[in-house]
A and B are shown apart, each in its own frame.
Chain A
């Protein structure tokens, strides 16, 4: 196949996944939360169990007026949603869903570093929004976002480093290729640390202190309306997809499964990602919000030591089996 056409096709597929998967997660969240709380959730839009609710929401957001506060820093304020959303699109390009070169947008040599670096950039969007809104609540939200990122970036990176050590490569397809079933118990601590730190980086409950609605309205996004606000929400759900996909690829063996024919590996990847996304929603419904000092304490006194212990364990086992 023609090279340019190949690249274009891959990008179109990744872009389609980027547009569809976050909406699927969002709709699942509506329904799962509702049923866990003894409600039905959206039932009308689209007919069957309200499947088109998020489409309707999107239309609603697009019709709203785009307001920029008079005292705000106009350009930074308007740029922030794009900075928050685009990194997740870039990360999605590097996540492999099946074996071989055909099932990944682009093979990145230093894949683990690429995805973590680019995901870190996304938080700049929240910081810019928090500062540029000229609103005390937004500024507080931005501050909390920054503090949270600084605390949780390190354990996330250390946990990913552990699995990269185990595989002997930092390329994402390479890591899944090297996966064996006994990595699951071996890397379980790293997996938990990575997932929890990722949740905190996405500011999902129970780590949603930066957008705590009972204290600071909606944190950095307080002043946003219409489409720009929708972009921030979309960034959150794209973040869930990316985090669950990454946890699947790094720790749960991606396309490896106990049974299933060749060529169906991508089903395993999507299935594991979906189960993790369900866990993310479940946690939102079941845990209360952590206080700021509890947040910091969890990261610095629990997750970082655990991640370091996991790295030590990985090193010892790696040397022992060689």
Chain B
């Protein structure tokens, strides 16, 4: 029996005494936070101000973390904040500030892919909604029972039932990491062969100088 089915079965027992989307406080909070997250995400992709888009992305990702919390998945929520808000957005802002981050609108930042992007987004959203609805239907989390999303439970499920996908993912990430290093080094090598007459002081402190 897969763990998802197991949790579904335990949750289904409690679902019988619980109507679909009866408005308890937690559910209302969940819906409101969901609306905020959706709004922030829409602004992220429609705003003309580049850095504002990155900051609205923080709101959207933070809203997702709150949703995870409300679904009792505490560990996932904090990891979401740590990785996405703390690292990915900082990297994004770093890239923006390093290249071009004007204050105010940047009308040239729009490509003509808007309809295509919209179609892809709608398709992806439809697929995800369908999968999630089909998987969980009317299951309800039992808040009074044993914790279902604590670090303990997440860890044992991850390393007992999902260890193969977990390892496959880490190999994928490792491959991406090595690929990034290879790509950046090739570029650096081409640059030095293309323009050998660079300032000799310039390459001393860079990591390439150690090769």
Q: Which chain B residues lie closer than 8 Å to A72 at the CB level?
A: 103
Interface residues of B in 29-47 (CB under 8 A from A): none
State which of A110, A127, A170 has its C-beta within 8 Å of the C-beta of B93.
A127
B166 at interface, CB cutoff 8 A: no
Smallest CB–CB gap between B119 and chain A, Å? 32
- The docked-state distance in angstroms from the alpha carbon of A212 to that of B55 is 26
- The docked-state distance in angstroms from the alpha carbon of A118 to that of B62 is 11
- The docked-state distance in angstroms from the alpha carbon of A114 to that of B86 is 12
B90:A124 contact, CB within 8 angstroms: yes
State which of B75, B85, B96, B147 has its C-beta within 8 Å of the C-beta of A124.
B85
B51 closest partner in A (C-beta):
A131
State which of A113, A131, A147 has its C-beta within 8 Å of the C-beta of B82.
A113
- The docked-state distance in angstroms from the alpha carbon of A118 to that of B78 is 8
- The docked-state distance in angstroms from the alpha carbon of A114 to that of B94 is 24
Q: Which chain B residues lie closer than 8 Å to A293 at the CB level?
A: 205-206
B101:A131 contact, CB within 8 angstroms: yes
A120:B78 contact, CB within 8 angstroms: no
- The docked-state distance in angstroms from the alpha carbon of A248 to that of B78 is 22
B55:A117 contact, CB within 8 angstroms: no
Q: Which chain B residues lie closer than 8 Å to A143 at the CB level?
A: 94, 97-98
A164 closest partner in B (C-beta):
B151
B65 closest partner in A (C-beta):
A117
Dominant SS at the A interface? helix
A153:B87 contact, CB within 8 angstroms: yes
Q: Chain B: interface residue count, which band?
A: 20 to 34
A130:B97 contact, CB within 8 angstroms: yes
- The docked-state distance in angstroms from the alpha carbon of A127 to that of B86 is 12
B90:A149 contact, CB within 8 angstroms: yes
- Provided the pairs A132-B103, A143-B97, A147-B94 are in contact, do residues A113 and B78 lie with their beta carbons within 8 angstroms? yes
16 contacts between A and B (CB under 8 A): A109-B75, A109-B150, A116-B86, A117-B79, A117-B86, A118-B81, A130-B97, A131-B51, A131-B103, A139-B97, A143-B98, A146-B91, A147-B94, A150-B94, A153-B87, A169-B151
Which residues does B use to contact A, with CB under 8 Å? Answer: 51-52, 55, 58, 74-75, 78-79, 81-82, 85-87, 89-91, 93-94, 96-98, 101, 103-104, 147, 150-151, 205-206
Q: What 6 A-B pairs are tightest by C-beta distance, nearest first?
A: A120-B86, A117-B82, A113-B78, A146-B94, A117-B81, A293-B205
Which residues does A use to contact B, with CB under 8 Å? Answer: 71-73, 76, 108-110, 113-114, 116-118, 120-121, 123-124, 127-128, 130-132, 134, 139, 142-143, 146-147, 149-150, 153, 157, 169-171, 293
Known: A117-B81, A124-B89. 9 other contacts (CB 8 A): A71-B103, A117-B78, A120-B81, A121-B86, A124-B90, A127-B97, A128-B55, A130-B97, A132-B51
